[in-house]
Structure 1
């Protein structure tokens, strides 16, 4: 498949817009400004997805980011049904990421470490989780952990992004299980989440944030075959 053309003139403005809205969102969380949260959260992933499109990024990356947008919006009401729907949207995004990562070899010791972390963390969380969420959360955690491990296929930036995504969702899970929370808990969740999505995007685009051309490096030639 012939690589599609990006939109070079929009690359830097879209990146600047994503960073500015992210900063406003995080500042709003620290200030307890609910209006800022409601206005900025739905804009975050569409801006990052638009940046990826302008950079001629892979379709699977854009799909994963838009699934993240769906999850962000669905989680905003706070109801159980909305939470499950949001978790499902994020799960589809993780499948997109896993498909994007392909079959490239990643570190087996890292995989063992992630597996051990998953077993221990879910075991500790289990007693505090609502009965109706135990199985869905366990399945989601397995998928997320696989994504975090396989993210290393796109290089060190994506690997860090995968780890931060796992950390962000772990912070959410501790809240569901009624564990003691960090001060400004929502701020840390969103900071690690935004950093995760940006680093995964950066890794998929070859580790360069402002190139107007195609994405070299980690994704590189494989884009043409998808």
Structure 2
């Protein structure tokens, strides 16, 4: 088990390096990395104006990779990122989680389609593992904000589906380092939203712990989106 974890971690690092390396040939990716870093640091330090400037540009910049691809299903990728963009904008307003979840639901429906289109299939073990954080999130929501339970279960199911499908070992192409990061991208998305729910239900706004949680949410989220998009649209011409 330990050797498998080490191997997968190494693959994730390789995929991240490949994703970041594309910044030398794709200016919009370089801009995405800068905006993501600024937003994460701003979240940690509580610099709200910089967060408001950088967050809305993240998904449009990442869409550059999809536009560069001639994949037959790239329109689905663009729709998914549009959903993520809408979710980002919604979550910039305090207490707007249901609206944010609606946008990201579109994002995950698109990812589920794209991953399945590339041959990803679920497994009982991967489903069981994701059921644990989903259950914990539902319990937290039920205790602190009961109105969020349907959102957590509905949106959480779509999020878990992305994580389950992205982590299918069959997606990994030994000759394409970008595909090594798909599972990591799906799992980091799950981590990001788990921390978001914990922050909303357990931490008071404006505290050091809340700012740290916000930074973790944005750091994991921006890396997750990068790894998923790079893994799904790593080539200029993909077969369906």
Shorter-normalised TM range: 0.7 to 0.9
Q: Are 2:233 and 1:205 equivalent residues in the alignment?
A: yes
Higher RCO, Cα 8 Å, sep 6+: 2
What's the TM-score, normalizing by structure 1? Answer: 0.79
**Matched residues in 2 for 1:197 and 1:77: separation?**
21
Aligned to 1:178: 202
Structure with greater helix share of residues: 2
Counterparts of 1:92-103 in structure 2, within 5 Å, are 92-102=106-116
Tell me if the contact between 2:101 and 2:155 (Cα under 8 Å) persists in the aligned partners.
yes
Tell me if the contact between 1:60 and 1:100 (Cα under 8 Å) persists in the aligned partners.
yes
Give the gaps of 5 or more residues in structure 2.
1-23, 173-179
For residue 107 of structure 1, report the CA deviation from its aligned partner.
4.2
Tell me if the contact between 2:137 and 2:198 (Cα under 8 Å) persists in the aligned partners.
no
**Matched residues in 2 for 1:179 and 1:24: separation?**
23
Q: What RMSD over aligned residues (CA atoms) do the two structures have, in Å?
A: 2.3
Q: Are 2:45 and 1:31 equivalent residues in the alignment?
A: yes
Tell me if the contact between 2:134 and 2:153 (Cα under 8 Å) persists in the aligned partners.
no
For residue 106 of structure 1, report the CA deviation from its aligned partner.
4.4
Q: Are 2:159 and 1:144 equivalent residues in the alignment?
A: yes
For residue 126 of structure 1, report the CA deviation from its aligned partner.
4.1
**Matched residues in 1 for 2:103 and 2:211: separation?**
28
What's the TM-score, normalizing by structure 2? Answer: 0.75
Give the gaps of 5 or more residues in structure 1.
1-9, 207-212
For residue 152 of structure 1, report the CA deviation from its aligned partner.
2.8
